[in-house]
Copies of this chain bind each other. A is one copy, B any other.
Amino acid sequence: MLSKAKIKWIHSLNLKKNRKELHLFVAEGHKLVTELLPLMSCRFLTATAEWLQKYPDIQAAEIAEASLQELNKASNQQHPQEVLAVFEIPDRKPDLNYLKNNLTLALDNIQDPGNLGTIVRTADWFGINTLLCSVGCADAYNPKSVQASMGSIARVAVHYVKLEEFIPTLNVPVFGTFLEGKNLYEFPHLPQAAIILMGNESNGISGKLKPLVNEKLYIPEFPPGSKRAESLNVSIATGIICAAFRRPKTNS
């Protein structure tokens, strides 16, 4: 049985300040929870009797059987899930030496948790292990962000830093997207030690970060110069740029 106190505790983790204070976040659904279980420390797991019977070997500090109705009360999802778990937010520090020698994504004030989670998932696909977020970004452990990241949140380290102070210490080239940038496909060489800086959904890269950008990129629309849509969604633009950076060299 899932107690009212537990439901209240789970709901409290919808708020960033509680997640931050308790270092905990919520993940829901079979696929996501089973992907996170071997990778993260699980503080609490609640599931239907059927689910628990199917997965008798799961590791969690505390396990509670619950009815679908109880799970529904605890859930953030529209459709009730058969399993919900509370995981510990890992305490990671940025590895400066790694960042100086690898491709990293930096996000400037990304507001939508869904975009942020989708970018975490995309970073994981393209072997980008670190996401540097400005302090104004949405929280990567927001339930919507966690769901969109599809388990990649366990593999991609997300750090909230003052980008304007942190980025210059890395001494790697910074690529940013601008409408007046240079065609992404005209760069003869996209380095594998660099920062890809993506700007806010409405306002792009903020004034204080613009001076840090060494190379201005532009994803060419089609036909060239048609300027129909004003822009691409930031997570789509991130995907296209990551794909271009990671494109095998033999074909470029």
Instruction: Identify the stretch in A59-67, A88-96, A170-178, A223-231 within 8 Å (CB) of chain B at 4 or more residues.
Output: A223-231
Q: How far is the CA of A238 from the CA of B252 in the complex (A)?
A: 20
Is A124 touching B252 in the complex (CB atoms < 8 A)? no
Instruction: Give this chain's copy count.
Output: 2
Interface presence of A97 (CB below 8 A): no
A125 to B219, CA, bound (A): 10
One of B35, B226, B230 near A150 (C-beta < 8 A): B230
Which of A68-76, A114-122, A158-166, A209-217 lies at the interface?
A: A114-122
A211 to B125 CA separation, bound complex (whole angstroms): 28
The answer to whether A243 and B246 touch (CB under 8 A), given A221-B126, A233-B121, A233-B235, is no
A200 to B28, CA, bound (A): 20
A131-159 at interface with B (beta carbon < 8 Å) = 148, 150-152, 155
Q: Which residue of B lies closest to A238 (CB)?
A: B236
Most buried by B among A183, A186, A229: A229
User: Given A118-B233, A239-B240, A251-B252, A125–B221 Cβ distance below 8 Å?
Assistant: yes
Q: Which residues of A contact B (CB under 8 A)?
A: 35, 114, 118, 121-122, 124-127, 148, 150-152, 155, 183, 185-186, 219-224, 226, 228-233, 235-240, 243-244, 246-248, 251-252
Ordered by A's residue number, 21 sampled pairs between the chains whose C-beta atoms are within 8 Å are A125-B219, A125-B222, A125-B229, A127-B222, A148-B233, A150-B229, A150-B230, A155-B228, A155-B229, A185-B247, A185-B251, A186-B251, A219-B243, A220-B248, A232-B239, A233-B235, A236-B236, A239-B239, A240-B240, A251-B252, A252-B252
